[in-house]
């Protein structure tokens, strides 16, 4: 039986926000690489689809006052090509997403909208303390990404809001990302980890993917590594951190995870893999640890 789905195609941001406000039950669609899978498998039957692909504003990015504002509709391919040097951690994660076809269509805005704990852009966004700009006819608000995830596949976007952009500072230091899955490409992460070491702000950032109900930051591990780098005067200089400190960092990362057993991995494997990923990314970030 054919079911009618209203298809709304705004061409301006104002029209998109007005349509979202008028039809809060509508499902926004950007690249469609999550939405179309759900429709095809009959997991979702929205009354209305709100197509955002004709809204040019969403595909723009700009740098202002040392902050990059990246429109929610910028594809992974463009992010890698145009912003890869300024956002190496996010670009590393983007390179692991799907296939070239998926990276041509898929967007960080869509990854945030879907809010899957396994989404690959979340760990690097957590590691660099990105902000998400949400908009509605009521106005704008900026939510730290660390407060964005509300539960498995849930976020804090209200029914009348759209994700407008991601705000993030260009990297001031090393950023790394590593993901484990059952093969090297076209794979949903069994777990993933992102690390940022910012010698200017003297801040360590982390992000854990696919090992908890939401993407997570390993806050104790961050504070521990900041303490070690302060104590050893190691923010700028390549001082050795030593095995005990590296092991402790890796243990604290693994301890921050809240993994479950599922089809992709056991909880125990995820925890052990995170220990490895934490050591690996720290080694890459520091040259030698
Ligand atoms: C074959 C395949 C492989 C994949 N591999 C990976 C992978 O390796 N890693 C990974 O993380 N993901 C992967 N994905 C999932 C998907 O590609 C990503 O989540 C992608 O980022 C979704 O972006 P999109 O623009 O296509 O989102 P869409 O499908 O258009 O939307 C996704 C969700 O976000 C909402 N949304 C979109 N834009 C907005 C907006 N501006 N405001 C509010 N809500 C919005 C939609 O309503 C929907 O709920 C894969 C998907 C496929 C089909």
Residues ≥6 apart with Cβ < 8 Å to 266: none
Ligand 1 lining (C-beta closer than 6 Å): 27-35, 37, 52, 72, 96-98, 102, 105-107, 109-111, 113-114, 119-120, 157, 162-163, 186
Substitution site in 98, 154, 157 for ligand 1 pocket (most atoms within 8 Å of beta carbon): 98
Per-residue model confidence (pLDDT) at position 288 = 61
**Averaged pLDDT score across all residues of the chain:** 95
- Residue among 279, 280, 261, 278 at smallest CA distance from 270: 261
Please state, in angstroms and as integers, the Cα–Cα distance from residue 110 to each residue in 57, 60, 219, following that order. 15, 15, 26
Rounded Cα gap, residues 23 and 126, in angstroms: 31
pTM for the full predicted model: 0.97
Return the ligand 1 atom nearest residue 98 CA: 5
pLDDT per residue as tens digits for the range 127-150: 999 999 999 999 999 999 999 999
pLDDT per residue as tens digits for the range 62-105: 999 999 999 999 999 999 999 999 999 999 999 999 999 999 99
Cα–ligand 1 centroid distance for 69 (angstroms): 19
Cα–ligand 1 centroid distance for 117 (angstroms): 12
């Amino acid at each position: 039986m054919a079911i009618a789905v209203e298809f709304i195609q705004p061409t301006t941001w104002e029209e998109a926000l007005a349509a979202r406000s008028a039809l809060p039950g509508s499902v926004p669609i950007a690249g469609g690489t999550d939405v179309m899978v759900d429709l095809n498998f009959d997991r979702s039957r929205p009354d209305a689809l709100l197509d955002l692909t004709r809204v040019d504003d969403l595909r723009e990015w700009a740098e202002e006052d040392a902050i990059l504002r990246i429109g929610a509709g910028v594809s992974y391919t463009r992010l890698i090509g145009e912003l890869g040097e300024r956002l190496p951690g996010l670009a590393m994660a983007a390179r692991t997403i799907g296939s070239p076809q998926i990276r041509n269509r898929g967007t960080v805005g869509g990854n945030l909208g879907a809010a899957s704990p396994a989404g690959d852009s979340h760990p690097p966004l957590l590691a660099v303390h990105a902000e998400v700009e949400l908009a509605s006819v009521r106005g704008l608000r900026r939510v730290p990404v660390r407060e964005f995830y509300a539960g498995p596949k849930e976020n804090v976007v209200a029914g009348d809001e759209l994700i407008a952009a991601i705000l993030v500072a260009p990297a001031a230091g090393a950023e790394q990302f590593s993901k484990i899955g059952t093969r090297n490409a076209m794979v949903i992460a069994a777990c993933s980890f992102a690390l940022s070491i910012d010698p200017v702000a003297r801040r360590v950032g982390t992000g854990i993917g696919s090992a908890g109900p939401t993407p997570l930051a390993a806050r104790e591990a961050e504070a521990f590594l900041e303490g070690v780098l302060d104590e050893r005067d190691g923010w700028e200089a390549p001082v050795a951190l030593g095995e005990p400190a590296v092991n402790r960092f890796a243990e604290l990362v693994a301890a921050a995870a809240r993994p479950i057993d599922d089809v992709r991995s056991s909880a125990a494997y995820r925890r052990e893999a995170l220990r490895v990923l934490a050591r690996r990314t720290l080694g890459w970030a520091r040259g030698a640890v």
